[in-house]
Chains A and B, each alone.
Chain A
Amino acid sequence: MLAYILRRLLYALPILVGVNLITFALFFVVNTPDDMARMQLGIKRVTPEAIEKWKVERGYDKPLLWNEKAAGAGRLSQTIFYQKSLRMFVGDFGRADDGRDIAGEIKGRMGPSLAIALPVFVLGLFVTVSFALLLVFFRATYLDFAGVVLCVAMMSVSSLFYIIGGQYLVSKAWHLVPISGYVGGLDATKFLVLPVVIGIVSGIGASTRWYRTIFLEEIHRDYVRTARAKGLSELAVLFRHVLGNAMIPILTGVVVVIPSLFMGSLLTESFFGIPGLGSYTIEAINAQDFAVVRAMVFIGSLLYIVGLIATDISYTLVDPRVRLE
């Protein structure tokens, strides 16, 4: 299994290089380093010397991808792409345009992001799986039908509606929690309750329906009939047999997002003023801070690939037949 994981990690290298090339191309097709310098220095008092100085200071004075002047391996390494993008493989994310260390910033903002994303994920999974099992328990009744109608209706509502409506009702009309903001420590709870609840509610529709389909597919299998025939209660059948055997499709969708929880949620964080990685990304996008966007894309892709590998490993845990070679 160790060999398998190592091989998968090696496969990840070309993918990550590709990801970097894409972000790099997207940015530098329209922006030259001169444009970046001009934007950072402001429109006024920009002299060619100032631009040159800015570029040398930040290391943007090199060619983009291929250095004709250098010799040997230097042709590849003495370039912006190598110095800025490929250095991220050794954990060197460089500095944002405002001079702050990106790695430090990410460490500081990971906490608030996780404080929202983790409860939303864990509680959301619990709520939707329970709800789906409930619907399956009452399958082919009016309760099941009403539940499915509710799910379709809930997944047709814009996530913006949940956020705006929730903020309006809970914070403005009922004055239960502050509208937005964040503090460290335990006091954060009052800021976190609303975004977490909204995050869970907005995911109920689609996920519940998805889990219900998975469970329904299992419930008509022969082993379920056998389990009933030997006198197990319907609840035991559902929890022990159906849920257990539905684990593979559930894990396929679930495990892959776990590492990405670190990235936070762009929308929730910007609406609720949470200083997490999601809002960091949005700010960087709006300020056209390439260094930060590049770092976030890199980390996001890395976490996604880690998620894919974790999914494979998780299969071996729930299904003894699966062997990773």
Chain B
Amino acid sequence: MMPFIPVLLWSDILLWLLVAVCIAGAVMARRSEHILTSWRRIAGSANGMAALTVLAAFFLIGLLDSVHYRPRLAQQTGVSISAANYGVEVLSLLDALAAPLKNNSEKTYSAPLATRLFSKETIEEAVVGTDGGTAAGTDARIVRDYPRLIYGGAHLGADTAGAGQDMLVTGLIGAALGLAVWLVMAWLLRAMLPDGRGRKSVLATLAVLLLIFAPLLALSTHYHVFGTDKVGQDVFYLTLKSIRTGLLIGTLTTLIMLPAAVLLGILAGYAGGWIDDVVQYLYTTLNSIPGVLLIAAAVLMMQVVIDTHPQWFATAAERADARLLALCAILGMTSWTGLARLLRGEALKLRELEYVQAALAFGVPRLAIMLRHILPNVMHIVLIAVVMDFSGLVLAEAVLSYVGIGVDPSTISFGTMINAARLELAREPVVWWSLTAAFAFMFALVLAANLFADVVRDAFDPRTRMSP
């Protein structure tokens, strides 16, 4: 009997589908020289490759977090063997790898790398000759102090004086391991990438990433490197989990809206006439509704539908997943108009070119012309739009979740993290680590995406000027 059953969430399927599409695209690109030239330009750019390396690291975490399963519960005596029980909680590969981070929950806030809780509590402690008096026996006294964390620095025991030294040693070991990993990867990459600025930049970025994260990972086995939040969850774990949500919103939204945008845009531009009028009417109407209002109204509607149909979802994870996908669809609904307008303009131009006219004269059906001659020649616009939209969508998720029209509150995302932590700035002293961690990771992700988008745009279409 299997120790787990795999769970396929819809978002997982779509994300892996996207990976498959990317691989297929790469295989196809190998055959056409002009696409390869553009990609070589990206591979030769220091900025682009550094950004791509960071993005790849984010995607690796996100993909690890997109393999879901339900573990089998421990067999109880007296229950027949045939009826295996699987937990209702859906876990991912990342959860399994980061099990200590996920499970080692403290009681409440603790600062990064702390060994004690953040707030004083009334605790009982055995009196074993602490302040001069050597009261023997098992007497306990009540004191108000910062309680010792259950997991943070647990291996040190009650005496936390050596914590600083222990952290330094662990961190250095981590850094050494990171260096070793870097050497292996550098050796592998030398064989894979051509020499040049691109490879140098990849290696440098990898070195920075490993030197930051290897010590963090080493420390996180014994400490809460980014502290813990209100209910004692490890903030480092939460930030890692948020990455998947951000990536999903950034990629699936454009993926969902692409078919509609491409189809309607090309159709309007190429076919003209009443089709053009209808499509233009559609996107002008959608465009003229203030975006946030349209999103808010649609999200509220979706929430009512989900709340009134609890029987659709077997687990809470599936419900949260459905809500995430619906949010992607709604964001897509409001953002396809820009791409559709661009494609319409481009198709209008292409329609008049000689090779399209020639195809028409040869009697090629209109549908075939659109598929064979128009579509491949607007694909660079589509690619640029996908990459350019990514960062904006990641930022939008945080804002929407903050306003309360974003992801399910049980979904871990940058937005829900910020939302949960923002009131804590009013505390004295300030609980700053959740916010800082969420903002820092989001910044890294969006910055990498922005830099990469610039390079892709320059490589594929130096003349296109996109609006901000």
Q: Which residues of A contact B (CB under 8 A)?
A: 14-15, 18-19, 22-23, 26-27, 29-31, 152-153, 155-161, 164, 167-168, 172, 206-207, 209-210, 213-214, 217, 249, 253, 260, 263, 266-267, 270, 281-282, 285-286, 288, 293, 296-297, 300-301, 304-305
Contacts and interface: CB of A to CB of B under 8 A. Distances in A.
Contacts of B450: 152, 155-156
14 contacts: A158-B395, A158-B398, A158-B442, A159-B395, A263-B290, A267-B399, A281-B296, A282-B403, A285-B297, A293-B296, A297-B290, A300-B293, A301-B289, A304-B287
B345 to A, nearest CB: 14
Given A29-B301, A30-B305, A300-B293, A159 B399 contact: yes
B398 A267 contact: no
Contact of B285 (A15, A26, A152, A207): A15
Interface residues of B, number: 45
Interface string B398-428: 1100111100000000100010001001100
**Nearest 7 CB-CB pairings of A with B:** A300-B290, A210-B468, A18-B285, A156-B447, A301-B288, A156-B446, A30-B304
Contacts of A281: 292-293, 296
Nearest to A30: B304
A171 to B, nearest CB: 10
Given A160-B418, A213-B465, A267-B399, A26 B287 contact: no
Contacts of A22: 285-286, 289, 294
Contacts of B286: 22
A207 B304 contact: no
Given A30-B305, A296-B293, A253 B439 contact: no
B300 A285 contact: yes
A212 to B, nearest CB: 11
B447 A164 contact: no
Contacts of A293: 293, 296-297
B255 interface: no
A253 B288 contact: no
B289 A23 contact: yes
Interface of B: 281, 284-290, 292-294, 296-298, 300-301, 304-305, 308, 391, 395, 398-399, 402-405, 414, 418, 422, 425-426, 430, 435, 439, 442-443, 446-447, 450-451, 454, 465, 467-468
Contact of B301 (A19, A26, A209): A26
Contact of A210 (B289, B451, B467): B467
B290 A260 contact: yes
Contact of A18 (B281, B298, B403, B451): B281
Nearest to B446: A156
Given A267-B403, A285-B296, A157 B443 contact: yes
Given A23-B289, A152-B450, A296-B293, A160 B284 contact: no
A267 B403 CA distance: 8
A167 B435 CA distance: 14
Nearest to A172: B425
B304 A31 contact: yes
Main secondary structure of the interface of A (DSSP, over half): helix
Given A156-B443, A157-B443, A305-B288, A297 B293 contact: yes
B326 to A, nearest CB: 13
Nearest to A18: B285
Given A152-B447, A156-B443, A209 B297 contact: no
Contacts of B294: 22, 297
B297 A27 contact: yes
Contacts of B426: 172
B404 to A, nearest CB: 7
Contact of B290 (A18, A206, A214, A301): A301
Nearest to B394: A158
Nearest to B440: A161
Nearest to A270: B403
Nearest to B421: A164
A177 B465 CA distance: 41
Nearest to B285: A18
Nearest to B415: A160
A70 B252 CA distance: 47
A22 B432 CA distance: 42
A32 B426 CA distance: 42
Nearest to B295: A285
B425 A168 contact: yes
B342 to A, nearest CB: 14
Given A19-B289, A26-B297, A158-B446, 17 more contacts: A18-B281, A19-B285, A23-B289, A30-B308, A152-B451, A156-B450, A157-B439, A159-B399, A160-B422, A172-B426, A281-B292, A282-B403, A297-B293, A297-B297, A301-B289, A301-B290, A304-B287
A305 B298 CA distance: 22
A158 B395 CA distance: 6
B454 to A, nearest CB: 8
A87 to B, nearest CB: 19
Nearest to A206: B468
Contacts of A249: 465
A253 B467 contact: yes
Contact of B468 (A253, A282, A286): A253
B468 A15 contact: no
B447 A297 contact: no
Contacts of B290: 260, 263, 296-297, 300-301, 304
